[in-house]
């Protein structure tokens, strides 16, 4: 088969669209449980619902076999508090997260994850994922338990983070879904939710979608629906042609689940919380450059003269040994571990890190660039675990990093791994491959559907699962576990609920909305220009530092773009049509972020949220959620205590709520 370039050279033109075009052709698909998004949360939800006997349909923009952030692998599984070696209880972990976030996180999601994350991982093992050192490759290593053969990450004493061989995890889920006869609609972008009587705020009875190859229109009719569509990676930065573009999120990450939920009248919280977007497009490919973070936690960093950068404990005291990097500091409770959607850690749960004044010390000439990761200074077990086991199973590393470096002759026993050369601020965070943190490049952080102890949203029949659709959550294990849990609840609801009735008028409106972009002049803008313009407005008007004037101006610019350029934007084929429809979701999510930012009239360290016109940091009267929804075209807010999940109508303890709802 010729490459694209060879084809164009030979024929002098780009190839014809290779699939039959079926615009306006409609199919109706019925399910007990419909799942929107087939990342790990969606796939595990599908398996769980099918095992409950439900007829399950899953719709996915990519292909479920490899789609989503976890599609290309995973190397550490957080929150496995009930694994036989863990010394951290679900309550310890949940409280550590909630204390660190000053309440701005999700106690429900964390407690569920810690209570059944280990069971969820065991299910993955049954499906074919290696979670133990079965070959005894790391026998006698200090990060391994010889009886269970489990291997631990971050904190070798507390043992609640497990190192796993998750390179094939997504395929294992895919084959299990096939075995259970889950109906899969790949290359399908879901574009709206359907509600009873077509009314916003009513029971959700399904969704609409467009096939991105044929343009066919789908009406999914479902007794219960689970949104598992991930975050909105393309909201603040969009540079698909750059190497490592959107490196920590998938190209399909366009906030559609949030947008269609908001359009349907669901409530959201924490949409004002955005985090540094250093992982989204302007850094380097994940784990492709020397660093000391996450997969590389504990790795020695040296400068060009071989001088080692000190590691420090959470109080900033220099550590004397490598082993101390993997233990809680005496007197501290345990290391929570990074990469769990948490933007602030209390010292007692924080992991040791590189000296925090490294940028300053580089500026003064104490350390000279380039820096390197020197794996030769680690024990052989640690070294082989990082390069080979973790780099090799971690997302996006198997082929792009491990195979490429190995083929090129990289030998971790001898060679060092260069970190990117950046301005000193680039070394503020040990995750060097993320590049220099730019204050205007942000990413959605904790914002998502407000959920209850059933992971049900504020709308009847609609559940949420996974990183981002659920507020204040985020990591691989958590996504699986929430999917598994939400699906149990959704299937139980589906069993007892009435047949869904689709409102034809609502379907026709969604259809007209979807197809209007195949009609305008071919000279109008396309989805890429539009996506870039949205990202630019978000960067300029909703960066790290915000104010009422800039946010309001940003909102009006988004409105103008939507009404003018976007309304006449053109899609040349079903793929472009799908991408264009995603841009409309980005508009909505951008508006949600700006409205929520306007509503919070203070600044917050815990939310990494800074209002230039309201600089007071975390005043106690603003320690509350501000649930938002749209009613009759107006965005409305109310107030909710941060610990609402432990207040009436819920029980006052985590365990009691879990016992009441989990089964
Ligand atoms: C390189 C990398 C390494 C990582 N390593 C780790 C790790 O070691 N440990 C860890 O805990 N976490 C890790 N993470 C994070 C972890 O992978 C994610 O938290 C997790 O995979 C999120 O899963 P999800 O199913 O909730 O969301 P996603 O993976 O975002 O899946 C959402 C799915 O929905 C689909 N979708 C979106 N919109 C629509 C629509 N409108 N219609 C239909 N489908 C739609 C998308 O195509 C996607 O497949 C890593 C992430 C990356 C990128």
Question: Is the pLDDT at 248 greater than 80, yes or no?
Answer: no
Q: pLDDT grade, residue 2 (50/70/90)?
A: confident
Query: What pLDDT score does 577 carry?
Result: 96
Q: For residue 69, report the distance from its CA to the centre of ligand 1, in Å.
A: 3
Q: Is 397 in the pocket of ligand 1 (CB under 6 A)?
A: no
Query: What are φ and ψ of residue 630, in 5° steps?
Result: -110, 125
pLDDT digits (tens, 9 = 90+) for 167-204: 999 999 999 999 999 999 999 999 999 999 999 999 99
**pLDDT score, position 171:** 98
> If you take atom 16 of ligand 1, which residue's CA is the nearest one?
476
Q: CATH number, domain at 594?
A: 1.20.58.100
Q: Is the CB of 252 under 6 A from ligand 1?
A: yes
Q: Looking at ligand 1, which residue's alpha carbon is closest to its atom 13?
A: 476
Reported as a single tens digit per residue, the pLDDT across 310-342 is: 999 999 999 999 999 999 988 889 999 999 999
pLDDT of residue 247: 65
Q: Is the pLDDT of residue 246 over 70?
A: no
Please check whether residue 234 lies inside any domain of the structure.
no
Band of residue 65 on the pLDDT scale cut at 50, 70, 90: very high
- Domain-located, residue 120: yes
Name the pLDDT band for 138 (thresholds 50, 70, 90).
very high
| Pairing assessment for the beta strands 204-211 and 188-195 based on DSSP bridges | antiparallel
CA of 445 to the centre of ligand 1 (A): 14
Residue nearest to atom 6 of ligand 1 (CA): 74
Ligand 1 centroid to Cα of residue 68, in Å, is 4
- Compute the mean pLDDT over every residue in the chain, rounded to the nearest whole number: 95
* Average pLDDT, integer, range 49-53: 98
The answer to whether residue 196 sits within a structural domain is no
Which backbone phi and psi does 454 adopt, to 5 degrees?
-95, 5
Give the residue-averaged pLDDT of 429-456: 92
Ligand 1 pocket: which of 230, 297, 339 to mutate (most atoms within 8 A of CB): 230
Determine if ligand 1 sits within 6 Å of the CB of residue 208: no
Q: How many domains does the chain have?
A: 2
275 Cβ below 6 A of ligand 1: no
Q: Is the per-residue pLDDT at 279 higher than 70? A: no
The pLDDT value recorded for residue 438 is 85
Residue 571 covered by a domain: yes
Pick from 18, 56, 395: nearest CA to 187: 18
- pLDDT of the residue at 281: 62
Residue 70 pLDDT greater than 90, yes or no: yes
Q: What is the pLDDT at residue 278?
A: 60
635 by Cβ neighbours in 10 Å (0-12 / 13-18 / 19+) ranks as: middle
Alpha carbon distance 116, 45 (integer Å): 14
Q: 154 lies in which domain range?
A: 76-164+319-349
Q: How far is ligand 1, taken at its centre, from the CA of residue 340, in Å?
A: 13
481 in contact with ligand 1, CB cutoff 6 A: no
pLDDT in tens, 526-537: 999 999 999 999
Is the pLDDT score of 126 beyond 60? yes
Over pLDDT 90: what percentage of the chain? 89
Task: Say if ligand 1 is within 6 A of residue 464 CB.
Answer: no
- Of all protein residues, the one whose alpha carbon is nearest to atom 53 of ligand 1 is 248
| Domain annotation covers residue 133 | yes
63 Cα to the center of ligand 1, angstroms: 13
- 610 Cβ contact partners less than 8 Å away, ≥ 6 residues apart: 544, 545, 546, 603
In this structure, is residue 89 part of a structural domain?
A: yes
Smallest Cα–Cα separation from 551: which of 619, 621, 599? 599
CA 241 – CA 208 distance, rounded (Å): 30
Tell me which residue of 537, 530, 580 sits closest to 556, measured CA to CA. 537
330 domain-assigned: yes
Distance 130 CA to ligand 1 centre (A): 20
Strand duo 268-269 + 545-546: pairing: unpaired
pLDDT number for residue 177: 98
Residue 662's nearest CA partner among 112, 27, 42 is 112
Confidence of residue 555 (pLDDT cuts 50, 70, 90): very high
Cα 433 vs. chain centroid, distance in angstroms? 18
Instruction: Give me ligand 1 centre to Cα 593, in Å.
Output: 21
Task: State the distance between the two ends of the chain, measured CA to CA, in whole angstroms.
Answer: 52
Q: Atom 4 in ligand 1: which residue has the minimum CA distance?
A: 395
Ligand 1 atom with least separation from CA of 482 = 26
Does the C-beta of 59 come closer than 6 Å to ligand 1? yes
Is ligand 1 within 6 A of the CB of residue 486?
no
- Span from the CA of 592 to the centroid of ligand 1 (angstroms): 21
Other beta carbons within 10 angstroms of residue 394's beta carbon come to 26
Q: Is the CB of 395 under 6 A from ligand 1?
A: yes
C-alpha 471 to ligand 1 mean position (Å): 15
Tokens found for residue 389: 């086991």
Weakest mean pLDDT among 166-170, 187-191, 241-245, 472-476:
241-245
CA of 7 to the centre of ligand 1 (A): 34
Judge contact between 490 and 49, C-beta under 8 A.
Answer: yes
**Does the model's pTM come out above 0.75?**
yes
Is residue 244's pLDDT more than 60? no
Q: How many Å lie between the centroid of ligand 1 and the Cα of residue 60?
A: 12
pLDDT tens-place string over residues 361-418: 999 999 999 999 999 999 999 999 999 999 999 998 999 899 999 999 999 999 999 9
Asked whether residue 468 is assigned to any structural domain, the reply reads no
* Range in 28-32, 495-499, 516-520 the model is least confident about: 516-520
Stretch (H or E) spanning 510:
helix 504-515
Indicate if ligand 1 lies below 6 Å from the C-beta of 261.
no
**Is ligand 1 within 6 A of the CB of residue 69?**
yes
Measured in Å, residue 163 CA sits from the centre of ligand 1 at 18
């Amino acid at each position: 088969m010729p490459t694209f370039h060879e084809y164009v050279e030979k024929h002098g033109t780009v190839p014809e669209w290779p699939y039959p075009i079926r615009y306006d052709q409609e199919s109706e698909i019925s399910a007990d449980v419909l799942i929107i998004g087939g990342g790990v949360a969606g796939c595990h939800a599908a398996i769980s619902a099918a095992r409950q006997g439900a007829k399950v349909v899953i719709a996915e923009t990519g292909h479920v076999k490899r789609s989503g952030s976890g599609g290309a692998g995973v190397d550490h599984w957080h929150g496995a508090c009930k694994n036989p070696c863990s010394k951290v209880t679900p309550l310890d972990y949940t409280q550590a997260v909630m204390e660190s976030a000053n309440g701005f996180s999700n106690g429900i999601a964390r407690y569920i994850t810690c209570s059944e994350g280990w069971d969820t991982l065991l299910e993955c093992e049954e499906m074919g994922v290696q979670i133990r050192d079965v070959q005894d490759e790391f026998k006698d290593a200090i990060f391994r338990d010889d009886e269970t053969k489990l291997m631990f990450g971050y904190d070798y004493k507390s043992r609640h983070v497990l190192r796993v061989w998750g390179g094939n995890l997504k395929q294992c889920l895919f084959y299990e879904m096939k075995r259970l006869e889950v109906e899969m609609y790949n290359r399908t972008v879901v574009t709206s939710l359907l509600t009873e009587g077509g009314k916003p705020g009513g029971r959700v009875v399904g969704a609409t979608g467009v096939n991105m190859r044929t343009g066919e229109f789908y009406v999914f009719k479902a007794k219960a629906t689970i949104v598992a569509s991930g975050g909105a990676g393309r909201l603040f930065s969009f540079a698909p042609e750059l190497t490592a573009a959107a490196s920590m999120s998938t190209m399909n990450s366009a906030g559609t689940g949030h947008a269609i939920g908001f359009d349907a009248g669901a409530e959201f919280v924490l949409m004002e919380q955005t985090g540094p977007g250093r992982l989204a497009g302007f850094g380097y490919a994940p784990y492709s450059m020397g660093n000391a973070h996450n997969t590389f936690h504990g790795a020695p960093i040296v400068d060009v003269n071989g001088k080692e950068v000190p590691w420090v404990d959470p109080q900033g005291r220099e550590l004397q040994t490598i082993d101390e990097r993997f233990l809680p500091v005496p007197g501290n409770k345990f290391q929570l571990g990074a990469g769990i959607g948490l933007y602030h850690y209390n010292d007692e749960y924080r992991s040791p890190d590189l000296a925090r004044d490294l940028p300053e010390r580089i500026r003064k000439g104490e350390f000279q660039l380039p820096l390197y990761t020197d794996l030769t200074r680690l024990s052989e077990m640690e070294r082989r675990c990082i390069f080979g086991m973790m780099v090799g199973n971690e997302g996006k590393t198997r082929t792009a990093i491990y195979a490429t470096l190995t083929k090129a002759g990289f030998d971790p026993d001898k060679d060092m791994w260069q970190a990117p050369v950046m301005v000193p601020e680039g070394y503020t965070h040990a995750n060097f491959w993320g590049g220099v943190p730019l204050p205007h490049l942000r990413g959605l952080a904790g914002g998502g559907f407000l959920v209850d102890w059933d992971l049900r949203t504020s709308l009847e029949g609609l559940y949420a699962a996974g990183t981002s659709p659920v507020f204040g959550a985020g990591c691989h294990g958590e996504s699986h576990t929430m999917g598994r849990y939400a699906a149990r609840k959704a299937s139980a609801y589906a069993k007892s609920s009435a047949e869904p009735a689709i409102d034809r008028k609502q379907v026709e409106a969604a259809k007209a909305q979807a197809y209007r972009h195949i009609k305008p002049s071919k000279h109008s803008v396309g989805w890429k220009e539009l996506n870039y313009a949205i990202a630019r407005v978000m960067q300029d008007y909703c960066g790290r530092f915000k104010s009422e004037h800039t946010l309001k101006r940003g909102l009006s610019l988004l409105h103008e773009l939507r009404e003018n350029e976007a309304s006449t934007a053109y899609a040349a084929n079903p793929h472009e049509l799908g991408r264009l429809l995603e841009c409309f979701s980005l508009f909505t999510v951008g508006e949600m972020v700006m409205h929520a930012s306007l509503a919070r009239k203070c600044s917050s360290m815990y939310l990494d949220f800074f209002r230039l016109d309201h600089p007071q940091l975390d005043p106690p009267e603003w320690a509350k959620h501000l649930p938002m929804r749209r009613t009759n075209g107006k965005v409305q807010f109310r107030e909710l205590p941060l610990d609402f999940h432990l207040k009436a109508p819920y029980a006052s303890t985590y365990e009691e709520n879990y016992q009441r709802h989990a089964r």
